[in-house]
Structure 1
Amino acid sequence: MMTPFRKMHGLGNDFVVLDARHAALPIGPEVARAIGDRHRGIGCDQIIILEPPGEGADVFMRIRNPDGSEAGACGNATRCVASLIAAETGSRDVVVRTISGDLPSHLHADGTVTVLMGVPRTGWHEVPLAQALDTLHLPLQRGPLADPAACSMGNPHATFFVPDLSRIGLGVLGPLLETDPIFPERANIGVVQVLARDRLRLVVWERGAGLTLACGSGACAALVNAVRRDLADRAADVELPGGTLRVEWRPDGQVAMTGPVATAYLGTLDLAALRAA
């Protein structure tokens, strides 16, 4: 039996979106790896499975990385899913539930979506780290990258600040830093160049996915860690390879992220054939 899917992206951070709200889909780690393979599957940064939400939310969003692991948060995918549910319900306000919590979202008239990504967690055990350390200055270095700040935005992030982003080979350093023993659950690695107090430039190595054109939770973590180091104001544009997100760390502690969504195409896939392969 063929299963329909939707290929979506937020600033080039791309997703295969599958609807399991009415019938369960057998998408474990092996099938997720097959779907995410850019050569033999469809290819994506994450596989997104829509599931029944339970009371108090409009949809449950399950996130699989292309290595088969499960992720707790994805800001760009949340915007995509919120836009789909808003189109279904006719409401501009949507609550997307994840394993890391509920994410209230709002669809604007111009098609952009704002997601409240939650309150950043900065305790060493909340990131989490392998031991009690100051999350504002971690004793971690690989090549030219050193002294990151860390926080959790529903998933662990480490943010390095550099004077010139163009000189950093994150494709080489990213996998080494993602899997450093200091991060027991691995980590997303962000590298930031501060252009102004209201403008940051960011590149992210996503755990389980690799280099990505955009990372919503990474953009939120970048602003939070920049503010914690007094390098930025509490609202800024975050430039990523795929485009720009607007991020604001609000007075109530919530981090709001705003950006566009797009559907690339619709298709069908054969889950049985993927499992067999």
Structure 2
Amino acid sequence: MLVHFTKMHGLGNDFMVIDLISQRGRLRDADIRRLSHRNFGIGFDQLLVVEPPRDPDMDFRYRIYNADGSEVENCGNGARCFARFVLDQRLTTKREIRVETAGGPLTLVVADDGRVRVDMGAPRFAPETLPFAAESDLPVHTLDVAGETLEIGVVSMGNPHAVLVVDSVEYAPVLELGPLIEVHPRFPKRVNAGFMEVVTPHEVRLRVFERGVGETLACGTGACAAVANGIRRGMLASPVNVTLPGGTLSIEWGGEGHPVFMTGPAETVFEGRIIL
């Protein structure tokens, strides 16, 4: 089976994108793991799949698979690449695109300069929405990891996030604590771990250890979760520029009950065909 694909990235968070509207294909977990390998495959953080919508009010169905083959609910950097992809591949002429995801509907708006603004929906803080084992909804929870008690904020952006405030992202133990937080038993579906350094109320630095992937150059939902938790804790004020290793995103949030808006670039790297 010969499949056409596009390699894209959003601030270095990289993707293989496949259109399953104009072509047919089926990818098993083992196929995804093989293709994601950076030495023996194409290499990517996530695989993005474009499918026809099940909901007639939506334009597309947007599916996301991690490098380990697991399907996840949402990916903000991927959403921007998704919007550019369906326009570039002439699957739509719309500049405002509605997509269904496992984490809920998203609205993607492509500007004339190619940047994409995504309505990521309202953040959810109730522990059961992640899920996270806790008795009540608090801005800060404690989490025992490797003999250390950490203070975290928990946020669902359609996918689960734990946010830690650190003095410096450069020296934060992302690779040591990230894998332990990801699989902590209080997060039964695992979690993305964000390490946030507050520079000013309108500027933060962020590193994210993503479940099923490891540390990535950027994480759009992680940036949204970090800003929402920071505003909730009185540390930040909208809008906030979030600088990740791969670049900067602009995040806006109007507070409880309001959606988070994320704006940033999406780039095509190359196109190709592969036999599956």
The verdict on a shared fold, with TM-score over 0.5 as the criterion, is yes
Q: Deviations over 1:81-133 (max 9, x none)?
A: 11122342332111122111111011111110000001111111112113424
- Over the matched positions of the two proteins, sequence identity in percent amounts to 41
Deviation at 1:142? 3.7
Quick one: which amino acid aligns to residue 254 of structure 2? Answer: R
Contact 2:125–2:137 (CA under 8 A) maintained in structure 1? no
**TM norm structure 2:** 0.94
CA distance in 2, matches of 1:133, 1:34: 41
2:266 corresponds to which residue?
261
> Aligned letter for 1:30?
A
Paired residues for 1:195-234 under 5 Å = 195-234=199-238
Matching residue of 1:175? 179
Bigger shift: residues 171-180 or 256-265: 171-180
Q: Which residue pairs with 1:96 in the alignment?
A: 99
Corresponding position: 1:186 with 2:190: yes
DSSP 3-state at the match of 2:162:
strand
How do 1:88-127 and structure 2 match up within 5 A? Answer: 88=90, 89-127=92-130
SS class of match (2:39): coil
1:28 is displaced (CA, Å) by 2.1
**Aligned position for 1:71:** 72
Deviation at 1:146, TM superposition (A): 1.6
What do the CA deviations read for 1:141-186 (whole angstroms, capped 9, x no partner)?
4477720100100000000001122221211221111000110000
User: Who is 1:44 aligned against?
Assistant: 44
Q: Does 1:270 align with 2:275?
A: yes
Q: Deviations over 1:3-50 (max 9, x none)?
A: 110000000000000111144421121111111111211110001111
Shift of 1:135: 4.1
Q: 2:24 & 2:65 partners in 1: Cα distance?
A: 15
Separation (CA, whole Å) in 2 of partners of 1:185 and 1:102 = 21
In 2, Cα distance between equivalents of 1:145 and 1:175: 16
Q: How many corresponding residue pairs?
A: 271
CA distance in 1 between counterparts of 2:57 and 2:11 reads 29
Query: Contact 1:121/1:152 (CA < 8 Å) preserved in 2?
Result: yes
Q: Distance in 2 between matches of 1:23 and 1:242?
A: 32
Q: Which residue of 1 aligns with 2:6?
A: 6
Q: Which runs of 5+ in 2 are unaligned?
A: none
Please give the alpha-carbon distance, in whole angstroms, between the structure 1 residues aligned to 2:250 and 2:107: 16
TM-score by length of 1: 0.94
* Aligned with 2:243 (options 239, 243, 248): 239
Say which SS state the counterpart of residue 147 (structure 1) adopts.
strand
Quick one: distance in 2 between partners of 1:27 and 1:191? 33
1:140 paired to 2:143: yes
Per the alignment, do residues 145 and 268 of structure 1 end up closer, same or farther by CA in structure 2, a change over 3 Å counting? farther
Structure 2: how far apart are the matches of 1:258 and 1:209? 23
Tell me how far 1:203 sits from its aligned partner. 0.2
Q: Which contiguous aligned blocks of 4+ residues in structure 1 show a shift greater than 3 angstroms?
A: 141-145
1:128 and 1:235 mapped to 2: Cα distance? 28
Bigger mean CA deviation after superposition, 244-253 or 196-205 = 244-253
In terms of mean alpha carbon deviation, does 129-138 or 235-244 score higher? 129-138
CA distance in 2, matches of 1:145, 1:14: 33
| Counterpart in the other structure of 1:16 | 16
**Contact 2:108/2:117 (8 A) holds in 1:** yes
Structure 1 residues 90 and 129, CA gap change in structure 2 (3 angstroms): same
Task: Give the match's secondary structure for 1:82.
Answer: helix
CA distance in 2, matches of 1:60, 1:7: 19
